Copies of this chain bind each other. A is one copy, B any other.
């Protein structure tokens, strides 16, 4: 064990294990997670060469191997709880995406949610037994977030009682679905339903893609891998071009909407039914933002405690780089953010489960608010976390750029969350739409409830209007007061966005153009709303924590999170008159104090995330801090070192030397 990191742990002021339980949910969950991790990590069938040393085809191969093995093991151990499956899977693939993700996470759940009982009988058991390997094909080359624009067609032919599936244009080729390229033999395909001469919009169809015996693509199915990407090397994201592919009528998912034998279309009872899945996936992504950032902070903070560099005081030994204020300022707010997002993820998950209960009883009342909030929070957290991972990576200096740090991998595997499941700017505007609607309702005298209740007229009258009009009352040392400040900032920015729309309308432009011409303000308002929600939920979490030591360190983190956000957005707080210039100086000073205060607990706070070395797979983030020996050992194993002299020497350099 590196003595620096040992000393860091000795200096911690709280019980790390207790904090781990809070992050997991409770002591039992921690225990169970560790059991599952041990099962996977000790299993020789899940060992593989370092993925960084493999080609993409080899990485895909290794992933399929592990996934196949995983399916067997899950059955053997009788693991069937979705959360436990997720935990097991994350552990097998070390948090990476894998070829069966969409089979497990989209194909099976979509069957469960949208297949009729007869369809369940036909498809579910084969899919459960991996005879049918499925994916979910929605995105097309020309259309992503805007679903109505999808072009794939399913035209009903009553003569044969079949749908004829087509990709009528190049832009309509399905593009991106995971596992589509090579792995899947079926896909749930989203297509525009045409029957009896009319288009009835998007429906889901089960389309066989490859022979169940030979895995060779079926006639009319042009399918393949979309090629190398920034990351996701293990996943065969695919393309699918359908050329008059005929599927039986019962291959349209018919739990809700239906097409009868003669081609009559029967509408589904509610359009909001798919909201639930979206909310669930977004809540998972928010949790993932917390995890990706937690991993990155673990690596960067542990490394910062063993890396010595430069000098603060001449003549003294080189200090740990974590002693530099600039290093603390880079990493500690991100550490606080990781905690914040983990708590937000927990909250969203709880709300989702509560609301799902209501929905199954036909109560959709809370869905619009949650749907709108989940869109914005997904965007808010994934943007910050993505940028934060890179800050962590660069905070490790040059070595962060090596794949042995694991940070490049964390980044490229996380950053697509900014785009998939709804492009982030579009998501922010979705939340903004809800905020503006709520604002208008409040302005019209309706009393809002829930998280947007701050938009009520009565609340808004309490706000300071400008620097001069009234003394501000924010106490920069009090978290509750800061939550209030964030709330008032959100209220003010929503109002400003609404007024911008109003001003545009006065120029006689259309509603739609007024909206587009105010989009910058709308995104800004959404961002402020989400920031308020995160600060509020972090503060609320503190109320649940009994242990004094843990409560104290988390309170410091929460305060740091809130104050750093204010410093970053100081323009907003000054502009809206919520803070004065002298208060802003106080914020700066207090932030510096908090960094120093957190310094002794930094390593313990990342230890509490409880990532085993096998899960982090980072030379820089090792628990024992013995970085350099292992970096050397890792490098020596790398492929270019298999021979002392690379063949290119004999092929090009030696002949060149002869010529010159």
Contacts and interface: CB of A to CB of B under 8 A. Distances in A.
A368 interface: no
B129 A657 contact: yes
A538 to B, nearest CB: 22
Given A68-B655, A170-B628, A408-B412, 5 more contacts: A71-B660, A72-B656, A225-B640, A387-B387, A575-B581
22 contacts: A57-B640, A61-B648, A64-B646, A65-B648, A67-B652, A71-B656, A72-B659, A141-B631, A145-B310, A149-B310, A224-B638, A224-B641, A225-B635, A227-B638, A230-B402, A236-B646, A313-B512, A324-B519, A329-B520, A394-B418, A467-B467, A574-B574
Contacts of A648: 60-61, 64-65, 182
Contacts of A600: none
Contacts of A121: none
A640 B224 contact: yes
A28 to B, nearest CB: 31
A52 B215 CA distance: 27
Contacts of A555: none
A592 to B, nearest CB: 7
A182 B649 contact: yes
A507 to B, nearest CB: 12
Contact of A228 (B327, B513, B638, B653): B638
B68 A309 contact: no
B640 A56 contact: yes
A516 B65 contact: no
A575 B567 CA distance: 11
Contacts of A647: 61
Contact of A569 (B230, B390, B419, B571): B571
Contact of A584 (B173, B325, B329, B571): B571
A454 to B, nearest CB: 22
A478 B57 CA distance: 57
A177 to B, nearest CB: 11
Contacts of A420: 398
A460 interface: no
Contact of A575 (B416, B574, B638): B574
A139 interface: yes
B139 A513 contact: no
Nearest to A319: B516
Q: How many copies make up the complex?
A: 2
Contacts of A519: 324-326, 329
A517 B325 contact: yes
Contact of A592 (B520, B575, B657): B520
A176 B574 contact: no
Contacts of A67: 652
Given A225-B640, A571-B574, A632-B170, A68 B653 contact: yes
Taking chain A's interface residues, is the majority helix, strand, or loop, or is none over half, making it mixed? helix
A198 interface: no
Contacts of A146: 309-311, 318
Interface in A293-336: 307-314, 318, 323-327, 329-330
A38 interface: no
A56 to B, nearest CB: 7
A362 B649 CA distance: 43
Contact of A65 (B318, B513, B651): B651
A171 interface: yes
A13 interface: no
A94 interface: no
A475 interface: no
Contacts of A649: 64, 182-183, 215
Contacts of A653: 64, 68, 130, 133, 183, 215
Given A146-B309, A523-B326, A182 B640 contact: yes
B640 A141 contact: no
A55 B645 CA distance: 18
A214 interface: yes
A639 interface: yes
A654 B68 CA distance: 10
Nearest to A595: B520
A621 interface: no
Interface stretch (A276-284, A369-377, A422-430): A422-430
A129 B660 contact: yes
A423 B397 contact: yes
A39 interface: no
Contacts of A629: 170
A112 B574 CA distance: 56
A646 B133 CA distance: 15
A420 B401 CA distance: 11
Interface string A203-247: 000000000001111000000111111110000100100000000
Interface in A415-448: 415-416, 418-420, 423-426, 429
